[in-house]
Structure 1
Amino acid sequence: MLSHFTQSLRETFPSRSSEWALAVIILNWSIVLSVTPDLFNDRIGYHALLQVAGQETWALLCFIVGTGRLSVLAINGAWRRTPHLRAIGAFISCGFWFGLTLGFGQNVSWSTAMAVYPVLMMLDAYNVFRAITDAAMIDNAYAGARRRGDDS
């Protein structure tokens, strides 16, 4: 299993590095929110996010999404390729980045967050597209293999 993981990582990391990075960023968000319990209360930029959910909820959701995406990327191909799960993870992350973009965009004076979060959202939107394309190729390959097996 470990040798499969390292081989799969070597083969897929270059093309999925943005997925890995964005998953780590969301996981890091969870860590920052957990170790800084008054962050949403202390800074006006986070007030819009606080209206959606409490800081603890955001931290938990970020932890689930970040670790979920990292797990999917890590087990990629152990049983079958995971582009469907990668697409779901990237789509959920798009929602997170969209929420941050809207939340920080409501401030009267925009912060540097508006230079970052919309770009991360678009990058994950591109990751959704790539994962769906990978899923279609994998599904077609499995369907072809089944047809060949049925014809034999």
Structure 2
Amino acid sequence: MKTALKSLADRTNEWFSSLVMIAWGATLALPGDLLSQPGFVAFRRFGMTEASWAALFAFVGAARIVALYINGRWPRSPHIRMVGALFGAVSWVQASVLLYEAAGINNTPVTTGCAVYALLAAFELFSINRAAFDARYHVS
């Protein structure tokens, strides 16, 4: 438990992003068709169902939580954290861009979500760097 709490303190950005991914998955899994809303029009062009998006985000978020929990107990955990943070960076940039595009398609103002997800992506880049440092200097 003490190691898990230290991981939480040292990897707050990664924990937060992972929990946001799980929250996205849970929200998309709720009844109703969120992707049919005008703000998500750009998400539909990928040909994925709402259930597919939900499963993808929830799975990756949960996998990242597991990697963060075992961090330091298994030599490959920094590599898993790097892959998770890379997926997070790509996902949050994609979410930001798709929300921006949806505003253009709908001729509506850009939402604050664009900035929030862009910042999440930026912090994921920081997390990649931190995990790479851990992989280089703390793994034997």
TM-score normalised by L of structure 1: 0.83
2:133 is the alignment partner of 1:138: no
Give 1:121's aligned residue: 121
Larger Rg: 1
Q: CA-to-partner distance for each residue in 1:106-134, whole Å, 9 max, x for gaps?
A: 12221111121100010111101111111
Q: Which amino acid aligns with 2:128?
A: V
> Structure 1 residue 76 and structure 2 residue 71: aligned?
yes
Task: Write the distance in 2 (CA, Å) between the matches of 1:136 and 1:55.
Answer: 38
Give 1:102's aligned residue.
Answer: 97
Whole-angstrom distance in 2 between the partners of 1:134 and 1:32: 33
Name which of 8, 26, 31 aligns with 1:31: 26
Does structure 2 conserve the Cα–Cα contact (< 8 Å) formed by 1:90 and 1:128?
yes
Contact 2:7 2:68 in 1 (8 A): no
Following superposition, the deviation at residue 81 of structure 1 comes to 5.9
Equivalent pair of 1:104/1:114 in contact (CA under 8 Å): yes
- Identity rate, percent: 27
| Matched residue count | 134
| CA distance in 2: counterparts of 1:16 and 1:81, whole angstroms | 16
The one of the two structures with greater contact order (alpha-carbon pairs below 8 A, sep at least 6) is 2
Aligned equivalent of 2:44 = 50
Measure, in 1, the Cα distance between the counterparts of 2:9 and 2:98: 32
Is the contact made by 1:81 and 1:138 (CA closer than 8 Å) also made in structure 2?
no
CA shift for structure 1 position 61:
0.5
- TM-score where L is the length of structure 2: 0.89
What is the RMSD computed on CA atoms of the aligned residues?
A: 1.3
- Matched to 1:122, the amino acid is A
